[in-house]
């Protein structure tokens, strides 16, 4: 119970922090119209642009793209549906992925921020705020972190995988800034919204899972109550 309380306190604290940061960034960009921070980051990164770095960046940005995440989600769904036979995990994965995608499109339309006008290698389509790569990476790889945290017993393997997944999320966000297809504030907002939505979605789906189990339990126990305990003699 104490461990559960600590976990809950950490999650709630991070949830509040993500919400505060998102509000701060949104207010600064859309109400105060301060974009100096974004421009300074672009200038800082410009001195590190090279052909070798470009190839590395393109590989990691691909890991946050829909070309990769759609098949990755399908593989994860199939794994839990057909191999592990865990129905609720096979529901949680697409539910979080699809709802995250819809949320991303809604927010992009709502804020309607154009992308940076100086892309490094290619011109990305669509709007800029929040970063879709950042948001979708947090919800997909963040869900993997949640699954690893809940299911892995080997602490060394658990925290190694969690650390690598966290690093991957950060690198994917960085690549969008390096490629100049997103401002830094787009990526920060994407991280915040992705985390907020992931926490809410996992909480809601877990509650639905527990509710379905409670509703199913009486239906399973009912026939036993009618037939009596095993070995009882008939009148």
pLDDT confidence of 222, banded at 50, 70, 90?
Answer: low
Number of domains in the chain: 1
* Domain assignment present for 229: no
* Domain assignment present for 91: yes
Q: Which of 95-104, 105-114, 118-127 has the lowest mean pLDDT?
A: 118-127
Q: How far apart are CA 61 and CA 148, in angstroms?
A: 23
pLDDT of amino acid 5? 81
* Domain assignment present for 226: no
pLDDT of amino acid 123? 84
Q: Which residue has the higher pLDDT, 50 or 223?
A: 50
* Domain assignment present for 89: yes
pLDDT of amino acid 228? 46
C-beta pairs of 54-62 under 8 Å, 24+ apart in sequence:
54/120, 54/121, 57/175, 57/178, 57/179, 58/121, 58/175, 58/179, 60/168, 60/171, 60/172, 60/175, 61/133, 61/172, 61/175, 61/176, 61/179
Percentage of residues in the chain having pLDDT higher than 70:
90
Q: Which of 57-71, 84-98, 137-151, 185-199 has the lowest mean pLDDT?
A: 84-98
Domain hosting 128: range is 2-212
* Domain assignment present for 16: yes
- CA dihedral sign of residues 23, 131, 103, 196: negative
**Contact (Cβ atoms closer than 8 angstroms) between residue 189 and residue 131:** yes
* Domain assignment present for 233: no
pLDDT of amino acid 233? 45
Structure confidence by residue, pLDDT tens digits, 165-213: 999 999 999 999 999 999 999 999 999 999 999 999 999 999 998 888 7
Q: How far apart are CA 212 and CA 209, in angstroms?
A: 5
* Domain assignment present for 227: no
* Domain assignment present for 228: no
Mean pLDDT of the chain: 89
* Six-digit token string for 22: 């998102």
Provide the whole-model pTM. Answer: 0.87
């Amino acid at each position: 119970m104490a461990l559960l309380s600590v976990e809950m306190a950490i999650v709630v604290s991070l949830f509040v922090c993500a919400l505060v940061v998102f509000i701060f960034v949104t207010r600064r960009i859309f109400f105060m119209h301060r974009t100096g921070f974004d421009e300074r980051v672009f200038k800082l990164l410009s001195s590190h642009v090279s052909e070798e770095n470009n190839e590395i960046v393109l590989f990691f940005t691909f890991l946050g793209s829909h070309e990769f995440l759609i098949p990755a989600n399908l593989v994860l769904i199939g794994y839990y549906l057909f191999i592990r036979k865990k129905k609720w995990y096979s529901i949680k994965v697409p539910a979080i992925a699809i709802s995250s995608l819809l949320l991303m499109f809604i927010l992009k339309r709502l804020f309607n921020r154009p992308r940076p006008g100086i892309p490094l290698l290619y011109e990305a389509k669509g709007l800029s705020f929040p970063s879709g790569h950042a948001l979708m990476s947090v919800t997909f790889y963040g869900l993997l972190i949640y699954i690893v945290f809940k299911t892995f017993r080997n602490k060394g393997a658990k925290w190694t995988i969690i650390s690598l997944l966290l690093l991957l999320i950060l690198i994917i966000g960085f690549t969008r800034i390096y490629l100049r297809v997103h401002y830094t504030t787009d990526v920060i907002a994407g991280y915040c919204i992705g985390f907020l939505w992931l926490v809410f979605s996992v909480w809601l789906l877990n509650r639905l899972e527990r509710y379905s189990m409670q509703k199913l339990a009486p239906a399973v126990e009912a026939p036993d109550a009618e037939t009596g305990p095993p070995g009882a003699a008939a009148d």
